Chains A and B, each alone.
Chain A
Amino acid sequence: MINDPIFESVKRRWEEVMMVPPQRVGPLTPLYKRVIPLFKVHPWRVLVLAAGFIALGSYILLGPMLVRIVSLLQKGF
Chain B
Amino acid sequence: MFQTILFRFIRNCWGLISEPYATMRRLSSEGNSIDVVGVWCAVLVGFVFIALLRSRSLHPFLLTYNFGLLTTGVVFTYLLTVLGIYLVGKLVGGRGELKTVVITWSMTLLPTLIWFIAASFSYLILPPPRNLTMLGKLFSLVFVSGSVALFFWKGMLYYLTLRFGMRLAMGRILIASAIIFPLGILYSIVMYQVGIFRIPFI
Contact = CB atoms under 8 A, between A and B. Distances in A.
A40 B159 CA distance: 12
Tell me if A's interface is mostly helix, strand, loop or mixed: helix
Interface string A36-77: 000111111001101110111011000010111111111111
A19 B145 contact: no
Interface residues of A, number: 39
B12 to A, nearest CB: 16
A70 B140 contact: yes
Contacts of B201: 76
Interface string B26-49: 101110000000000000000000
A16 B24 CA distance: 11
Given A43-B20, A44-B17, A59-B137, A77 B145 contact: no
A30 interface: no
Contacts of A40: 19-22
B148 A54 contact: yes
B62 to A, nearest CB: 16
Interface residues of B, number: 50
Contacts of A66: 137, 140-141, 144
Contacts of B132: 64, 67
B164 A51 contact: no
A27 interface: no
A55 B163 contact: no
A23 interface: yes
A75 B50 CA distance: 11
Interface string A17-37: 101110111000000100000
A56 B123 CA distance: 22
Contacts of A73: 119, 143, 147, 199
Contacts of A48: 145, 149
A76 B199 contact: yes
A50 B146 CA distance: 11
B169 A21 contact: yes
Nearest to B144: A55
Cβ-closest 3 pairs across A and B: A76-B199, A51-B148, A51-B149
Interface of A: 15-17, 19-21, 23-25, 32, 39-44, 47-48, 50-52, 54-56, 58-59, 64, 66-77
18 contacts: A16-B30, A17-B25, A23-B170, A39-B21, A39-B156, A40-B19, A41-B19, A43-B20, A50-B148, A50-B149, A55-B142, A58-B144, A59-B137, A66-B141, A67-B137, A73-B143, A73-B147, A74-B130
